[in-house]
Amino acid sequence: MVKGNQELGGSMVAIVTPMHADGSVDWESFERLIDWHISEGTDGIVAVGTTGESSTLGFREHDEVIERAVEIVDRRVPVIAGTGGNATDEAIRLTRHAKRVGADACLLVCPYYNKPTQEGLYRHFHAIAMAVDIPQVLYNVPSRTGVDMLPETVGRLAEIDNIVALKEAKGSIERIHALIEEVGDNIRIFSGDDGTAMETMLVGGKGDISVTANVAPRLMHDMCEAAVAGDRERAEALDAELLPLHNALFLEPNPIAVKWALGEMGYIGPGIRLPMTPLAEHFHEPVREALRQLRLLTGS
């Protein structure tokens, strides 16, 4: 049996943090987005992850986005709060706050920039788990952090009671197989890479923490549901529809394209914080075309 909250799984959106043109958080749009996601079948809201621009939100803003997400969701689906950091004390502080305001679980990215050893990764996550009694989802994304948490390290951490899952964003099915063999039923494996999410779930993963779900929540929910159930034929058909969108949303570093796409769809304004910049003009039409193919633009 998997530890922790059995509700974590399926299509969990790594939700953007909407902003006005001046960079301030647009709370009205944030509430509208969350309500739309729940009505479209999204299985969980992941607030203040990479896609939510966690690296450029101040402590007070970070806390408030999590608080608002919990309040707006109102227990309709799980809220997973991004509370990772490259300093262990900082991650503990953020995680304690998330628990205090009612988050269902926390997402903890590998420490970035300082490139810890595997032992350092183990001690970092062990310290957070011991400090805060809340379900915790580890997050391995080597392309962002500069460090790759190996399956053996995940296996050690999987023995800790409140570490319940891993979001694996290496984009390698071979790695997914190795992780599932290493951890067995101790924790759940979630994809953090939309391009390989379907295959991850078909071989035993339990969900996807998704960028694409920001703009196509119903289709991502349906694809994840089919893949987790082992319905390869239906999952492949749905993922084939999604593939152009998976590709288009990573033409520039996330969340540049997904925020622009949501703006085109009328859900959010133009705000994005430096050092991220608005989507380059020559990518506008490729992203529009991917949206048109799924009839996500008004009049398409």
3-state helix, strand, coil in the chain (%, to 5): 50, 15, 40
Are 147 and 108 spatial neighbours (Cβ–Cβ below 8 Å)? Answer: no
Are 139 and 84 spatial neighbours (Cβ–Cβ below 8 Å)? Answer: yes
Outline where 107-255 has alpha helix (H): 118-131, 142-145, 151-157, 173-183, 194-202, 217-228, 232-248
| Cβ neighbour number for residue 30 with a 10 Å cutoff | 22
Quick check: is 3 catalytic? no
Sign of the four-CA dihedral 50, 30, 107, 14: negative
196 is in an annotated binding site: no
Spatial distance between the Cα atoms of 99 and 96, rounded to a whole number of angstroms: 5
Quick check: is 167 catalytic? yes
Peptide bond into 244 cis (omega under 30): no
17 is in an annotated binding site: no
Task: Return the DSSP state at 8.
Answer: -
- Which of the residues 99, 122, 167, 170 is marked catalytic? 167
| Cβ neighbour number for residue 299 with a 10 Å cutoff | 5
- Which of the residues 99, 122, 139, 170 is marked catalytic? 139
Angle of helix 88-101 relative to helix 118-131, nearest 10 degrees, comes to: 30
Active site residues: 139, 167
* Numbered residues of the known binding site for pyruvate: 51, 209
